[in-house]
Structure 1
Amino acid sequence: MKWFFRSISVVFHPISMPLFGVLLFYRICPIFYSTEIKNATYISIAILTIIVPLLIAIILKKFRFLADYEISNARERILPLFINLLITATILLKLLPKIDAAELYYFFLGILGSTLACLIMAIFKVKASIHMTGISGLMMFIIGLGIHYAIDITLLLALLIIAAGFVASSRLYLKAHSNTELIIGIITGILPQLLTFQYWL
C-alpha cells in the first residue's frame, strides 16, 4: 500500500496543480483559443511551475538547504515557498497578460495568495499540508468555472473530490501530516480562490 500512496502524492503533487488547472480550463472553457496559444501556455506553465521548481529543489538539496525532498521541516519550507512566490508572480506579470484569460489570471492570483499564506505560516513554524492546499484550490477553481459558464461539472467535481480524499489519506498514511495540518491546507487552498470569485464570476 505504501507505493500506492506515494504514487498518489507524486501524481497530485502541489507543483502539478497549476498545470492541471490550465489543462482543465481549456477543456471546460467554451471560448475559442488557438492550438498555438494552448500549447504555448502548457509548455510555459510546465516549465515554470514543474521543471524550474524541481531543478531548484535539486540545487537546494545539494547545498544542504533541504534535508529531504519531502521538506518535512516547516523552517525548510521558507526558501522554496519564497521562490515559488516569485515564480507565480512572474507568471501573473509576464505570461498571463499575453494569454488574455481572466479566469486563469485570477486562478494564479489565488495560487499566489495560498503560497503567501503557506510562507507566512512556515515563518511562524506552522505546517500546513501543501498537497491539500493545491488540490483544494484546483477544486474551487473548477467550481468557479462551472458557475461562470453555467455548465455541468458534476462528474469532474466528483473525481476531484475522490482525488482529494486519496491525497488526504496518502498524507496521513505516510505520516507526513496530522488531521489539523490537512484542514489548514484545505482552508489555505479554498479561501484565496473563493476571494477571487467576485472579480471574474
Structure 2
Amino acid sequence: MPLLGVIFYFSKSPRYIPIEIIWAKLISLFILMVILPVLLYFLLKTLGKVKSIYLETTTERILPLTLNCLVVIIVIQRILTPSQIIELYYFFIGILISSMACLILAFFKFKASIHMIAVSGVFMFFIALSIHFSININGTLALMSIITGSVATSRLHVKAHTYKELITGIFVGVIPQIILIPNWL
C-alpha cells in the first residue's frame, strides 16, 4: 500500500520531478517495501518465529511489526527526506506511527487489522493530496472507498478479525495521517 501511495503521488503531483529521481525512488521503495519484507518473512518462517503469513496471534506479530518499523525508518532517513518530497516524507511518518501503534496494541494482546490500517491510511493520504493539489480525483476516492469496504468485508468473511479489530485498524491508519496533514498541507 505505501508503494501505491507513492506511485499515486508521482502520477498526480503538479511539481516537476525529474523522471530519473522518480524511478530511483520507486525502485528503492520496491526493494525496501516489497522484496525485503518477503525475504524477512521467509527468514522468520525458517527460524520458526512465525507460523504462517497470516500472523494469527499477537505474539507472532511483534517481530514482523518491529522489522517493519525499522524498514520504514530506513525509508524515511535515506529515500524520502523532508527536504526532497515533504508530502511523501510525512506520509511515511504516518505509516511509521501506525506501525508503532499496531505494535503497541500487539504487546497488549490486541490484534488490529493491518490490512485496514494500510488501506485506510492510503485512502486518507489520497484525500489529503486532492485537497493539497486542488485536483479532482473523485473517481479514485470512490474506488478507494469500495476497496476499503471490500477489504473490511473480506477480513470479516474469512473470520480473520472482529468488527472491533477492523474499526481499530481504520482509526490507527487514518488518525496519524490526519494529525500530520498540517505539516505539509
Q: TM-score, normalised by structure 1?
A: 0.90
Question: Among residues 54, 78, 81, which one is paired with 2:62 in the alignment?
Answer: 78
Separation in structure 1 between the aligned mates of residue 106 and residue 150 of structure 2, nearest angstrom: 25
Question: Structure 2 matches for 1:13-162, cutoff 5 A?
Answer: 17-97=1-81, 100-162=84-146
Greater relative CO (CA pairs within 8 A, separation 6+): 1
Q: Contact 2:124–2:178 at 8 Å: present in 1 too? A: yes
Separation in structure 1 between the aligned mates of residue 27 and residue 50 of structure 2, nearest angstrom: 28
Say if 2:163 is the partner of 1:179.
yes
Higher mean C-alpha deviation, range 87-96 or range 105-114: 87-96
Q: Contact 1:133–1:186 at 8 Å: present in 2 too? A: yes
Higher mean C-alpha deviation, range 121-130 or range 32-41: 32-41
Cα displacement string for residues 33-57 of structure 1 (whole angstroms, at most 9, x for unaligned residues): 1111111111111110111011000
Q: Contact 1:37–1:99 at 8 Å: present in 2 too? A: no
Helix, strand or coil: the match of 1:77?
A: helix
Separation in structure 2 between the aligned mates of residue 169 and residue 99 of structure 1, nearest angstrom: 39
Deviation at 1:102, TM superposition (A): 0.3
Separation in structure 2 between the aligned mates of residue 104 and residue 39 of structure 1, nearest angstrom: 15
Separation in structure 2 between the aligned mates of residue 112 and residue 103 of structure 1, nearest angstrom: 14
Which amino acid letter does the alignment assign opposite residue 40 of structure 1? A
Q: Contact 2:72–2:96 at 8 Å: present in 1 too? A: yes
Q: Contact 2:155–2:161 at 8 Å: present in 1 too? A: yes
User: Identity, % of aligned pairs?
Assistant: 45
Gapped regions of structure 1 (runs ≥ 5): 1-16
Deviation at 1:98, TM superposition (A): 8.4
Separation in structure 1 between the aligned mates of residue 64 and residue 162 of structure 2, nearest angstrom: 21
Aligned length, in residue pairs: 185
Which amino acid letter does the alignment assign opposite residue 137 of structure 2? I
Which amino acid letter does the alignment assign opposite residue 53 of structure 1? P
Cα displacement string for residues 77-131 of structure 1 (whole angstroms, at most 9, x for unaligned residues): 0000000001101111111128811000000000000000000000110100000
Q: What's the Cα RMSD here?
A: 1.1
Which amino acid letter does the alignment assign opposite residue 24 of structure 2? A
Separation in structure 2 between the aligned mates of residue 112 and residue 53 of structure 1, nearest angstrom: 15
Separation in structure 2 between the aligned mates of residue 142 and residue 200 of structure 1, nearest angstrom: 14
Cα displacement string for residues 150-191 of structure 1 (whole angstroms, at most 9, x for unaligned residues): 111111100000011111111111111111100000000000
Separation in structure 2 between the aligned mates of residue 177 and residue 18 of structure 1, nearest angstrom: 22
Deviation at 1:30, TM superposition (A): 0.5
Q: TM-score, normalised by structure 2?
A: 0.98
Gapped regions of structure 2 (runs ≥ 5): none
Separation in structure 1 between the aligned mates of residue 68 and residue 11 of structure 2, nearest angstrom: 26
Kindly report structure 1 stretches of 4+ aligned residues shifted beyond 2 Å: none
Partner of 1:7: none
Which amino acid letter does the alignment assign opposite residue 10 of structure 2? Y
